[in-house]
Each structure stands twice: as C-alpha cells, then as structure tokens.
Amino acid sequence: YAGGWLSPGRLQPAKIVNALEGHDGKHEGFRRAHAKGLCVVGHFDGNGQGLALSKASLFRRATTPVIGRFSLAGGVPNAGDGRVTFHSLALKFDLPQGEQWRMALNHVPVFPVATPQAFLDFQLATTPDPATGKPDPAKVQAYMAQHPETKAFADYMAKAPLPSSFANANYNSVDAFRFTNDQGQTRVVRWIFTPEAPFEELDKATLADRPRDFLFDEVAGRLAQGPLVWHLSVILPNDGDPTDDATKPWPDDRQRVEVGTLTIDRAVTEDDGPCRDVNFDPTILPAGVSPSDDPLLAARSSVYAVGYTRRTGEPAAASALATDQAFPAPAANQPAASQPAAKESAQ
C-alpha cells in the first residue's frame, strides 16, 4: 500500500521524481532538482523581535550556526548559469536541544504552480522531445491554457529583473507557514531574507555568452573577500490573503517584522562537505513553526525524501563546479558541519 501498488492512479512522490529525471536526465549522486550548487557555512543572530510571533528558539537574542547551499533550479549538475531561473538558497539551522529548522528558498516570491499535480503536469508538458531536443509546443500550450497561473509566472519571469549575483538576491519562503508564540497565539506568515549587498540587474541579453559557472564563481569570489549578510523579515498577511496558494503574491505593503540577521561566512567544498548528505526538507521545523494549509509543503517533503533516498543510494558524485575544488575540505576529525552549538545570550 505504501508503495502505491494498490492505487496506481494516485499521485505518488516517485512519479514526480521520475518526471524530474525524465525532464533533465538522471544524474547519479546529484539532487534531482537544484542539482548545481555551492555549500556555505555561517550563523544567524536573532534580535528577540520574532518571539512575539513564534516561540522558535531561532528568534531569541542568540547566535545559531547555519549551513547553506546556493543553487540554481534544474536537475542538470553542469548546466550553464546563463539561464532565466531561480537563484535559490537552502538553509539548515542547528538549534539548542537538537532541534533543526530547514528551509529551501527562492529569489522569486511566488512559484509557477499551486499543487503537486500541477507540478507533475508542468514537468511532463515541458519535457524535451527526444526528436527535437525541445518541449513539444502543443503540449506546452495545452498545459498553459489550463494553468493561467503558470503563464502569469512565465510572463513575470520574462520581465522581472534577475539579480546579478547570489549575494544581492532576496530569498523567499514562498510557501506560508504557521507561527505559534509562547501564549499559544497562532498566525500564518511568509518570510523573506533581504541582502545588504545592493541589487544589481543581470543583463539578460548577454546570458547565453557568460562562462558556465559565472554566478557561482562570482559569489565564491565575494565570500573570499568577506562575509555576506541578509536581514530576515517575517511577513504578516491581511485578512483574505491566500495561505494555500504559492502562485499568489502578498502585496508589498504587508507588515514586516525584522527578526534577525543571516551571515554567510565562507564556502566549503560540496564533496564530502556538510551539504551533500542533507535533505533540505522545508517541513523539518522547530517548536513554534508548523506547515500551513499550502498543499505544496507535504508534497515537497515526500518528493525530496524520494530524491534524497535515490541520490544517496548511488555512487557519490564529485561537485560539478570547478570552483568547488578551491575550498578546503573539512579536517578528517572535524566535519565542517560541527559548528559551535547555538549560544544564547538573553531571550
């Protein structure tokens, strides 16, 4: 039953992973989405303001160690960076008492699909035809006709400026989550990390001519000069703002509460480093945070788990990034993940 043999028509996570492999090829040992990435380590300093919204210990006036991974969407590990796609950042916060908070964030505040079924249908409709190497325009058109929200997203991506760097991009939760504070009050929120590095736009006209790894090389170069900083703000919806539909943005004027600062200190190698064997499942949450009614969240959890199980059962692949070789591997008896335990000052 758990394997889905008795209900072949139901949407199973393996079907979505199969579709991702069909779309971008099967690259053993790599993530089935966001295959190209760079691992980083850093820390988060809470300012205490978030505790009014959630009792999560991340929000105390304390420092929490973080590992992270910059990535681009897509399942091809050595794809060129000259594409119109998400700049993404995944994070794993190691909190006191063994709690963790894992996030996988995109620079765009909305997602192209609202449901797992639409995600599957979108992958299938845009899978390249082996005869032409391109998606079948009739299938894409038929999908778009049924999914105006995906069409709206594609139009938005075509027009919206792309950040010139991983360092000057926002990173959004996209999905909504439920926050609960010490008094038991619950609110649904989204969140955004905004960079201190000033925004600059990538010239889309020259994308195709850029060196393969130019975005990853650029951020590695910045990190070699010093840490990069983002401010985390929790976004509070107005009554009626959708909490179960990641295709719908919340208007820019919604109240924001700044709750702390993320500092990315340095890049570390992905081969044998702390990121390779992590599943950045966004439903791994500390007390005070839980999933909302957004149907993507449960699907993400189960699909990431299937992808993770497949890739970690395959021979480990070396990082496809040339720049990765420049970073020190963690010492044999001291994995890079072993940062100091979260230190608390006052609440």
**Residues labelled catalytic:** 34
Phi, psi of 193 (to 5 degrees): -100, 125
Indicate whether 33 belongs to the interface with ligand HEM (CB under 6 A).
yes
User: Is residue 71 a contact point for ligand HEM (CB under 6 A)?
Assistant: yes
What are the Cα distances from residue 158, in Å, to 70, 147, 169, 204? 22, 17, 17, 9
Residue among 280, 285, 289, 342 that touches ligand HEM (CB under 6 A): 280
SS3 content of the chain, % helix, strand, coil (to 5): 25, 25, 50
In the set 50, 191, 300, 324, which binds ligand HEM (CB under 6 A)? Answer: 300
171 is in an annotated binding site: no
Report CA-CA distances (Å) from 173 to 106, 109, 322.
Answer: 7, 7, 29
Q: Does 46 bind ligand HEM (CB under 6 A)?
A: no
- Window contacting ligand HEM (CB under 6 A); options: 4-12, 132-140, 160-168, 294-302: 294-302
Q: Which is nearer to ligand HEM, 51 or 176 (CB)?
A: 176
- Assess 121 for contact with ligand HEM (CB under 6 A): no
Distance between CA atoms of residues 189 and 179, nearest Å:
7
Could you say which of 27, 32, 102, 276 contacts ligand HEM (CB under 6 A)? Answer: 32
Contact present, 283 and 291 (Cβ < 8 Å): yes
Residue 39 sits in the site that holds ligand HEM (CB under 6 A): no
Among 12, 15, 16, 276, binds ligand HEM (CB under 6 A): 16
**Binding of ligand HEM at residue 303 (CB under 6 A)?**
yes
Q: Is 116 in the site for ligand HEM (CB under 6 A)?
A: yes
Handedness of CA 108, 112, 115, 120 (dihedral sign): negative
Give CA–CA dist 187/172, Å, rounded.
18
Nearer to ligand HEM by Cβ, of 33 and 320: the residue is 33
Q: Which is nearer to ligand HEM, 51 or 267 (CB)?
A: 267
Size of the site for ligand HEM (CB under 6 A): 30
Q: Are 204 and 164 in contact (CB under 8 A)?
A: no
Residue 146, CA distances (Å) to 155, 213, 246, 327 in order: 15, 36, 17, 46
The answer to whether 233 and 256 are in contact (CB under 8 A) is: yes
Each residue 173-192 as x (binds ligand HEM by CB under 6 A) or -, in order, gives: -xx-----------------
Q: In the complex, which residues of this chain contact ligand HEM (CB under 6 A)? A: 16, 20, 31-34, 37, 69, 71, 88, 90, 104-106, 111, 116, 119, 174-175, 246, 279-280, 296, 299-300, 303-304, 307-308, 311
